[in-house]
Structure 1
Amino acid sequence: MQGHSTQGRFSWADVLVTATAPAIWGTTYIVTTEWLPPDRPFTAALLRTLPAGLLLTLYCRRLPEREGWRRLLLLSALNIGGFQALLFLAAYRLPGGLAAVVGAIQPLLVMGLAWLLDGRRPVPVAVAAAVAGVAGMAALLLSPGSVWDPIGIGAALAGAACMATGTYLARRWRSQLPVLAFTGWQLLVGGTMLLPVAWAVDPPLPTLTSTHLLGYAYLSVVGALLAYTLWFRGIARLAPVAVSSLGLLSPLTAVILGWAVLDQRMSGLSLAGLVTVLASILAVQWAMSRPAGAVRDA
């Protein structure tokens, strides 16, 4: 990937650019509920990823190196195909708050992978901040009536593990493809993996209105092409723990949009959770910006 010359150097500008990706993903809920036909989650995931992958690969016209195809297939399954399928399965079987809380363990999983596979002990401040992020997400989103569906919980945990592992391996393997081509091939291959799932599970699409078309176009061009490009750029430039902690901005953005656009209420506990999550994200970034954090996770 391009941008490897910045490895080991922490940049708050890179943090802000990378943070744009999960903030964009946080708009997915409101776009899906307000602009798309209902009950077609895998079709939405397919139309978000596959067209964006086609556009990027045709634009870049760069093939992966011959020895890199196996890694590309695994990364595509982890970051796109498997993650999207598990994400929507969890979303349909669990309350959104519970699914987001389970997904908030991703930074802890990345730290565990770095410790297990590379012998890098996690920075204590980053661990504490990541745990606080999970607690803040629980305060922000969980309700007393949350249903703990075993299949949904399993899907949410597997989805978090997919994204954490994909984020970690994408940085560790460091493809020589430019970031646009690297993103495009993952979207193309991962979207192709979603094709049989959408065909087998979802009902056929109805006649699409202009609003439906606009919603699908937004999810593909902005929610996939732009957001994943910024995300993989961030993986090339920042420590995996720093990148994964920014993923908490996705449910955070969804909550803020629900309050601002859909007039959804927020309690005092929810506001405390929101502040805690933001503080957690900033604390992880600060920990990774220190010399010890940069050395351990570079």
Structure 2
Amino acid sequence: MRSQNSPRWLVILAFMAIYIVWGTTYLAIVYGIKGFPPFVLTALRCVIAGIILLVWCLARGEKLPNAATLKNTSVSGILMLVGGTGLVTWAEQYVNSGYAAIIMATEPFFFLLMDRKEWGIYFSNKWVLSGLVTGFTGIVLFFHYTQAAPQEAKDPGMLLTGNLVLLLGAILWVIGSLYAKYKLDHSHSNTLTTGLQLLAAGLFSALTALFTGEWADFNISAASPAAWGGLLYLITMGSLVAYMAFTWLITIRPPALVSTHTYVNPVVAVVIGWAFANEQITLLQIMSLLVILVGVLFTNVPNYRLVKANKQMTVN
């Protein structure tokens, strides 16, 4: 198997990328939006990363897919990377990076609710049902304690709106992921598909920025070194290193194991935001985060058991 031939140190680095790097991108967005409007930042991030991946694929002799595949790839990319990542970037004008990561940790629950073809499996399992109830309890508690907490935040009046936009972003990311799962032609490489998704999302973000007036208000010379650093980090570490590590890991390790980044990213984001951006979070909010993560853990118990059973069958 390929997993046996993969260097252990490389596997460890890849897990560090999806655990730590993805968790730190929420703070990188905070720095990025200090000099770039949110959809301008998303456009530059996605277009540059997409071009890099596509040039790499074309240089290796890969061919672009047909028009139907291009359309489906573009739709999935726009839903995930504009509806998901773009809305996260917009919301972080009003919501701390740690809050953003916590809300986005709800994605596994929306996968369960929206993947109708798998409902017969999901809703007949007590672990999944327990996870849904536990997770959404954590979400409600987090919203309650966030609204009740004293806010030194950017704009207290927009705090609830920002959190709701994040929730919408999580939903759109899931819709885009499911669209990709059932509609995309998976005969092409992950690198090529990712590059096309990024480019489509970047162009759509640029168009969105045009209609919202962000390009008219944007002054590139006013962007601080910290903002440029945030953009560079998002391009290289967020859209290239971490995502490519993820797409590689799911080919050599069980998806249930790779999905554990869902538990780690919010914790990393909260700690990094507190340490480097002086973002405040209360004990009750942290407890709500733990409830959400327990819910995610419960919903994945069937997957862990399946992985364990498959290992035992392989040994026997």
TM-score by length of 2: 0.71
1:1-298 counterparts in 2 under 5 A?
17=14, 20-21=17-18, 23-34=20-31, 37-38=34-35, 40-61=37-58, 62-66=62-66, 67-92=68-93, 102-114=103-115, 116-122=116-122, 123-136=125-138, 138-139=141-142, 142-144=146-148, 152=162, 155-172=165-182, 173=184, 175-200=186-211, 201-202=213-214, 203-207=217-221, 208-233=223-248, 246-247=261-262, 249-291=264-306
What is the CA distance between 1:224 and its match in structure 2? 0.9
In structure 2, runs of 5+ residues without a counterpart are 4-9, 150-155, 311-316
User: CA contact under 8 A between 1:52 and 1:187: conserved in structure 2?
Assistant: yes
How many angstroms apart in 2 are the aligned matches of 1:280 and 1:19?
23
How many angstroms apart in 2 are the aligned matches of 1:52 and 1:246?
22
How many angstroms apart in 1 are the aligned matches of 2:226 and 2:92?
23
Deviation track 1:103-126 (CA, whole Å, cap 9, x = no partner) reads 443222211222x23454314313
Cα distance change, pair 52–156 in 1 and its aligned pair in 2 (3 A): same
Q: Letter of the aligned partner of 1:162 in structure 2? A: L
Q: Letter of the aligned partner of 2:128 in structure 1? A: A
How many angstroms apart in 2 are the aligned matches of 1:99 and 1:266?
12
What is the CA distance between 1:174 and its match in structure 2? 5.6
How many angstroms apart in 2 are the aligned matches of 1:103 and 1:83?
9
CA RMSD of aligned residues (A): 4.0
What is the CA distance between 1:187 and its match in structure 2? 0.8
How many angstroms apart in 2 are the aligned matches of 1:63 and 1:186?
15
User: CA contact under 8 A between 1:171 and 1:236: conserved in structure 2?
Assistant: no
Cα distance change, pair 212–100 in 1 and its aligned pair in 2 (3 A): closer
User: CA contact under 8 A between 1:50 and 1:188: conserved in structure 2?
Assistant: yes
How many angstroms apart in 1 are the aligned matches of 2:106 and 2:247?
20
The 3-state SS of whatever aligns with 1:69 is helix
Q: Letter of the aligned partner of 2:190 in structure 1? A: V
What is the CA distance between 1:149 and its match in structure 2? 7.4
What is the CA distance between 1:285 and its match in structure 2? 3.7
User: CA contact under 8 A between 1:21 and 1:228: conserved in structure 2?
Assistant: yes
What is the CA distance between 1:51 and its match in structure 2? 0.5
Cα distance change, pair 294–19 in 1 and its aligned pair in 2 (3 A): farther
Q: Letter of the aligned partner of 1:82 in structure 2? A: G
Percent of aligned pairs with the same residue? 22
Q: Letter of the aligned partner of 1:117 in structure 2? A: K
Cα distance change, pair 269–82 in 1 and its aligned pair in 2 (3 A): closer
Deviation track 1:187-210 (CA, whole Å, cap 9, x = no partner) reads 111111111223443222342454
Cα distance change, pair 270–26 in 1 and its aligned pair in 2 (3 A): same
User: CA contact under 8 A between 1:171 and 1:235: conserved in structure 2?
Assistant: no
The 3-state SS of whatever aligns with 1:182 is helix
What is the CA distance between 1:250 and its match in structure 2? 3.5
What is the CA distance between 1:163 and its match in structure 2? 0.7
Higher mean alpha-carbon deviation, 162-171 vs 125-134, is at 125-134
Q: Letter of the aligned partner of 1:289 in structure 2? A: Y
What is the CA distance between 1:129 and its match in structure 2? 2.6
What is the CA distance between 1:14 and its match in structure 2? 8.5
The 3-state SS of whatever aligns with 2:237 is helix
Cα distance change, pair 56–170 in 1 and its aligned pair in 2 (3 A): same
Q: Letter of the aligned partner of 2:244 in structure 1? A: T
User: CA contact under 8 A between 1:110 and 1:240: conserved in structure 2?
Assistant: no
Q: Letter of the aligned partner of 1:128 in structure 2? A: S
User: CA contact under 8 A between 2:96 and 2:279: conserved in structure 1?
Assistant: no
Deviation track 1:115-146 (CA, whole Å, cap 9, x = no partner) reads x2345431431342344344445449724157
Q: Which has the larger radius of gyration?
A: 2
User: CA contact under 8 A between 1:167 and 1:244: conserved in structure 2?
Assistant: no
